[in-house]
Structure 1
Amino acid sequence: MSDRERSSTERVVPPARPRKLAKVPFVELADGRLQGVVSSGSDIARVYVSSVEAGTYAFACSTNNNRPCGGARGSFCNHIRALITEAVLQYGAERVARYLKADSAEPSAQTLAADMSATRPPQGDTKAAAPVFSRFLRHLTYLELAPSTEPLPEMQWFPPTRAVA
C-alpha cells in the first residue's frame, strides 16, 4: 500500500501562480460555471457571489444576501472581471478558457473577459449564489482546524472496508 493510499489527505493541484485571497477569497470551476466569492471594494462586511456560465457566458452577480450588483447591468461588472482574473491565476488561462468554452487565440484574463463580454451574454439568474456561498463558508471552517492526518467525520461518506494484510 502506498503512502498516498494510507493518507487521509489528497494532494491538491498547486495554483498556476500564487494569488492574493483578499479580493477573491473563493473561486471554482464547478456546475458548468466559473463562480466564486468577491469582496466588495467599498464595504468590508459585504461580499458578492459572481458567476459566468460555460458556453453562453450568462453572468450573475449579487451580494451574499441576494441583492443584485449595481454594476452588472448588461455587461460584466468589476466583480466578474476580478473573478476571471483570479481564476486565471488559480487554474491557468488555457484551463479556464477550455472550461468556459471560450475561443481565444492567446487566452489571458483580459482577453477572456473581453471576448466573452463581446458576445453580449445574457444576464443569468442568481439561484446558484446560495450554494456557492455555502461552499465558501464550509471551506472557511476547514481553515480553523488544526493540521491533522486523522479523518474528518463529515468527509467519511464511504463505508468502512476490510483492511488488506
Structure 2
Amino acid sequence: MSDWEIASTARVLPPARPRKLAKVPFVELADGRLQGVVSSGSDIERVYVSSVAAGTYDFACSTNNNRPCGGARGTFCNHISALITEAVLQYGVGRVARYLRVDAEVVDAQAIYAFMMGERPSQADSAAAAQVFSRFLRHLAYVELPPTTSPVPELQWFPPTRAVV
C-alpha cells in the first residue's frame, strides 16, 4: 500500500491547463459519463446540466429546473461542446478520450467532439442531472467557507493517523 492510501489526504491532480470557471464552473468524469454544469449564454440566473455517456456518447442537457435544452435536438448542443472543451483543459485530451472510449487519435477537444458526432449519439433522459447539480452545489458550499486551518467535519473521510501494523 502506498503512503497516500493510508494517509489522511488524497492525491489531487492539478488541472492540465488553467481554465475559466465562468462558462463551465463544474466538470467531472464520473458515473461513466463526462458531466458538468454549464452557464447559460443568455440568462445569468440559468445553468445547464450536461452529460455525455462513455462509449455510447448518448447525451443529455437540461436546465437546473429540469427543462430540456432547446439546442439539443438530436445532436450535441453548444453546452455539450463547451463541456468537452473544458474537460480537456481540466483533465487533458488523453484522459478525456480514454474515459469516453474515443477510439481514434485525437489531439484536441474538437477532434473528440467530431469523433463522437460521427458515431451518431442519441439523446438520453436527464435522470442524472439532479445528482450532478447536487454535487455542484456541494462544491460551491465548500468554496464559500471562510479560510481556516481547523478541520472541516464533512471533509474528514479518513482517520487522522496512520494505522499501526
Q: 1:4 to 1:122 in 2, by over 3 A?
A: closer
Q: Contact 1:56–1:121 (CA<8 Å) still a contact in 2?
A: yes
**Structure 1 residue 161: deviation in Å?**
6.6
CA distance in structure 1 between the aligned counterparts of 2:20 and 2:137, rounded to whole angstroms: 18
Aligned residue for 1:90, secondary structure, equals helix
5+ residue gaps, structure 1, are none
In the alignment, the residues of structure 2 paired with residue 162 and residue 78 of structure 1 have an alpha-carbon distance, to the nearest angstrom, of 47
Q: Which residue of 2 aligns with 1:100?
A: 100
CA-CA distance at 1:6 after TM superposition: 10
* Structure 2: runs of 5+ lacking an equivalent: none
C-alpha change, 1:87 and 1:24, in structure 2 (3 Å) is same
Q: Which moved more, 1:77-86 or 1:155-164?
A: 155-164
Deviation at 1:152? 1.6
**Is the aligned partner of 1:53 residue 2:53?**
yes
- CA 1:5–1:128 in structure 2 vs 1: closer, same or farther (change >3 Å)? closer
Match of 1:36 in 2: 36
The yes-or-no answer on 1:150 pairing with 2:150 is yes
Q: Give percent identity, aligned residues only.
A: 77
**Residues 117 and 148 of structure 1, relative CA distance in 2, 3 Å threshold:** same
The residue that corresponds to 1:112 in the other structure is: 112
Q: Which amino acid in structure 2 is aligned with residue 33 of structure 1?
A: R
Higher relative contact order (CA 8 A, sep 6+): 2
Report the TM-score when normalising by structure 1. Answer: 0.89
Structure 1 position 139 matched with structure 2 position 144: no
TM-superposed CA distance for 1:116, in Å, is: 0.1
User: CA separation in 1, counterparts of 2:108 and 2:11?
Assistant: 27
> Residues 55 and 101 of structure 1 are in contact (CA less than 8 Å); yes or no, is this contact kept in structure 2?
yes
Q: In the alignment, what sits opposite 1:67?
A: 67
**Aligned pairs, number:** 162
The CA distance in 2 between the partners of 1:116 and 1:6, in whole Å, is: 39
